[in-house]
Amino acid sequence: MKVVTFEDIKALGIGPLTCLDWVQTAIARKREALLPPKISLKPFDGVFCNVMPSMLPHDQMGLTGGVKIVTRYPNREPSLESRLLLMNAQTGEFLALMDATWITTMRTGAVAAHSIMLFGKDDFSVIGMMGLGNTARATLNVLAAAMPDRKFTVKLLRYKNQHELFIERFASYKNLAFSVVDTAEDMVKGSHVVVSGATYLPKDICEDRCFDKGVLVVPIHTLGFTNCDLFFDKVFADDTGHVCHFKNYDKFKKFAEVCDVVNGIIPGRESQEERILAYNIGISLHDINFAANIFMMLNHDTLPDIDMHDPIEKFWA
């Protein structure tokens, strides 16, 4: 079993459009995968440990599976950290123990950007953003790369010095202009798309009246917008099993999975006035797909091995 580090993955120089392509493929083939809902353990306030297994449909590596564990500890830097165990699901061979911090961030950003392009109203150009960490950076990175000819005005919710670092990160992007606001209400009002990368929000961020007709809301970590569940026209998610326990699930006006929109089974946005909510919970299908693609790109001769000294006899106890 190989060991794949964060630096091994970063050294590959995988671009945002490749991330988007991998996400699009996984979403389109989601119905072919084995995907139980994640297990989420929350031992303390603001802390979580999510365990996320899945098996992909047959691809270049055959039947590929794995499990990812992602944790959030607010006093750690960065607060989100993940590991992934990749396996050959046909033989049961464990292929690699991989750092999944890069994978988690980039696949989550690519999924959010995919939803923005899929469900945003025509010519959307004003984006409100809060929770300006790595995932929000990944989202804007993919979106700006995928739509280089569109000019975006990005309204950032001020928090510590994160808005300043965020603007600095994207200073060279010609299609992005930034402004900074002091309240969530100002961030939401007038925005065509609202994106939240906040990993902890104890309550909803603003009242119903703040959300204009035609707005798309993408709460990456599903927090802060439960009031929208009750009056938005449509709700989309990456997997029903991951949202059916939401307290307002039975009150959604219309609900569907993103994969069914991508495959033309159900319509997505049908008017420029529909308010749409995209709950991309984050499914391990995307992580395992990323990991499988990355594993094929790596030079295995340069990667260290882990030998668990497994028993070689059927009866060993």
Which tens digit of pLDDT belongs to each residue from 24-74?
Answer: 999 999 999 999 988 999 999 989 999 999 998 766 667 899 999 999 999
**Domain residue ranges of the chain, discontinuous segments joined by +:** 2-104+284-302, 118-279
Q: Choose among 63, 67, 81, 38: nearest CA to 237.
A: 38
CATH number of 2-104+284-302: 3.30.1780.10
* Degrees, nearest 5: CA angle 59-60-63: 50
Burial of 73: CB neighbours in 10 Å, binned 0-12, 13-18, 19+ = middle
Q: Which segments of the chain are extended strands (E)?
A: 2-4, 39-41, 48-55, 64-72, 80-88, 94-99, 126-130, 152-157, 176-181, 193-196, 216-219, 234-237, 255-257, 276-279
Tokens 């569109």 belong to 150
**Rounded to whole angstroms, how far apart are CA atoms 168 and 317?**
59
Sign for the CA dihedral angle at 124, 113, 20, 161 comes to: positive
Q: Please tell me the predicted confidence (pLDDT) of residue 280.
A: 87
Residue 262: the pLDDT is 97
- What is the structure's pLDDT at 94? 94
pLDDT value, residue 80: 84
Q: Do domains 2-104+284-302 and 118-279 have the same CATH topology?
A: no
| DSSP strand pairing (80-88 vs 2-4) | unpaired
Fold held by 118-279? Rossmann fold (3.40.50)
Cβ–Cβ < 8 Å for 167, 140: no
Q: What is the pLDDT of residue 59?
A: 66
**Relative orientation angle of helices 16-28 and 101-119, to the nearest 10 degrees:** 70
Extract the residue ranges of the chain whose pLDDT is less than 50: none
The pLDDT of residue 60 is 65
Q: What pLDDT, on the 0 to 100 scale, is given for residue 78?
A: 86
CA-based R_g, the chain, Å: 20
